[in-house]
Amino acid sequence: MNRLDQLRELKKQIEDGPDPQATERQHAKGKRTARERIALLLDKGSFTEVEPLRRHRATGFGMEDKRPHTDGVVTGWGTVHGRTVFVYAHDFRIFGGSLGEAHAQKIHKLMDLAIATGAPLISLNDGAGARIQEGVAALAGYGGIFQRNTRASGVIPQISVMLGPCAGGAAYSPALTDFVFMVRDTAQMFITGPDVVTAVTGEDVTQDGLGGADVHGEVSGVAHFVHDDEETCLEDVRFLLSLLPANNREVPPVEHTDDPADRLCPALAGLVPDDGSRPYDIRSVIEEVSDDGHFLEVHERWATNIVVALGRLAGRVVGFVANQPQSLAGVLDIRASEKAARFVQFCDAFNIPLVTLLDVPGFLPGVDQEHGGIIRHGAKLLYAYCNATVPRISLVLRKAYGGAYIVMDSRSVGADLAYAWPGNEIAVMGAEGAANVVFRRQIAAADDPEAMRAQLVRQYKDELVHPYYAAERGLVDDVVDPAETRSVLASALRVLQSKHADLPSRKHGNPPQ
């Protein structure tokens, strides 16, 4: 066999994998191989592999007799919708996808290339953590990944796709990235496994119960997206990438749409009840104003009292931040503040304009919230908005009370343009609560306290909570017809697209933690 034939045979062996039984075991678990996953993610035929011939140099524990090519990770680049991305995928068939020195160096090289060329980085995770046989060299490999995750933060989009186990220190790399996808039943993430938890605390828990997709999608907030299978998961990764720029020096791709920018939305008036205490689904409002009704919700099942989503208006990508009256009446609490703050920071880092839809009665009261640090967590959202230099547009749909109004990108914290619907109530608090505080003595001294309270509530509304009070003082740029919402937002985005704002010179800020 000549050298060229030898190379071809070797490459074929590498692509086929270590042995057919290992592939069958992977498929039996409902999981694809690393190369099959890459093929689903990337445009057909676009993948170029890097270092397929790499092998480890470890000795001891029988390692010198087991030196498969790729060392358990497939790395390279390709395209998604014609745009370059870098990707690495753990191959669970080789050492359980565990990370050793050579494995880590392959990932380091790929991350360096992604940062240098300014292209998104996607990791397809399915590994057993650090390779025990290689000791501290494997741990140092994780350190190099974490350092590069941090260096790439805010420079290129980083997406982690969890398709199998991810335990111990390995879980910190996904936590440092922008978005985490998880697949039910096959993906788990935890720092200490069920056996350790049982030994230390006495709690009996399964892997899924400790760190499965639903746990991280609903309870911990670690996972931004949860899917039932790998196909729909990777398809959504492709959709997300279509909404993102390649790096922080570019703007998101603009797409042609047949949905007119000035399309009227008469349905909006009926979607949002006039009664401020009646719930509704804010997602129906986002759907109505978005191009063709399409948007991608982030953290759909965590902190559901606020909705954050990526969508398009007149072909341009925008980030929506919206209170959700359907959950906890749309109040801000610790989780909602953290969720929205991280999303605002991401949009600002990658030049995505922000559209904030307000219908917020305030911050959630309670001992748990105060002791849990609602002050510093709420300040995270405030800091994120104040620090953002992308175009920022806010719209009050119904009520906007107290500090929550200020925090939700009010004009006073730097919103470029602020609008309100005719039924808006912007105030320190609701009229009933305000009357009880301001007119407490008058109500108590009245012959008919209830009649006096009702009279004073009306008076307070007429003087301070009427829809035009904020507009008269320049805190709202205009009061708009709900049907014209899409047109107004599209026009505002168009005029703000050339916005340029500089922050003071500094190494970095010190946001609240």
Nearest-5° angle of CA 500, CA 506, CA 511?
90
CB atoms closer than 10 angstroms to residue 378: 24
- Beta strand 165-167 with 48-50: parallel, antiparallel or unpaired? unpaired
The residue assigned the tokens 């804010």 is 282
Annotated catalytic residue within 403, 414, 454, 483: 403
Give the residue from 412, 426, 69 showing the smallest Cα distance to 276. Answer: 426
| Tens-level pLDDT at each residue, the chain (513 residues) | 688 878 888 778 878 778 888 888 889 988 999 999 999 999 999 999 999 988 877 767 767 767 788 888 999 999 999 999 999 999 988 887 788 888 999 999 999 999 999 999 999 999 878 787 787 887 888 999 999 999 999 999 999 999 999 988 889 999 999 999 999 999 999 988 888 888 888 888 998 999 999 999 999 999 999 999 999 999 999 999 999 999 999 999 999 999 999 999 999 999 999 888 899 999 999 999 999 999 999 999 999 999 999 999 999 999 999 999 999 999 999 999 999 999 999 999 999 999 999 999 999 999 999 999 999 999 999 999 999 999 999 999 999 998 999 999 999 999 999 999 998 888 876 667 666 666 677 777 777 777 777 776 777 776 767 778 888 888 899 999 999 999 999 999 999 999 988 888 888 889 998
If 0-12 CB within 10 Å is exposed, 13-18 middle and 19+ buried, where does residue 509 land?
Answer: exposed
Q: Where are the beta strands (DSSP E) in 48-99?
A: 48-50, 73-80, 83-90
The yes-or-no answer on residue 261 being catalytic is no
CB atoms closer than 10 angstroms to residue 367: 7
The yes-or-no answer on residue 404 being catalytic is yes
Annotated catalytic residue within 169, 221, 315, 433: 169
Q: Please indicate, yes or no, whether the overall pTM of this predicted structure exceeds 0.85.
A: yes
- Partners of residue 320 on adjacent β-strands: 309, 355
Annotated catalytic residue within 72, 168, 319, 423: 168
The yes-or-no answer on residue 403 being catalytic is yes
The yes-or-no answer on residue 168 being catalytic is yes
Give the residue from 149, 160, 204 showing the smallest Cα distance to 183. Answer: 160
The CA–CA distances, whole Å, from 269 to 357, 463, 468 equal 15, 25, 18
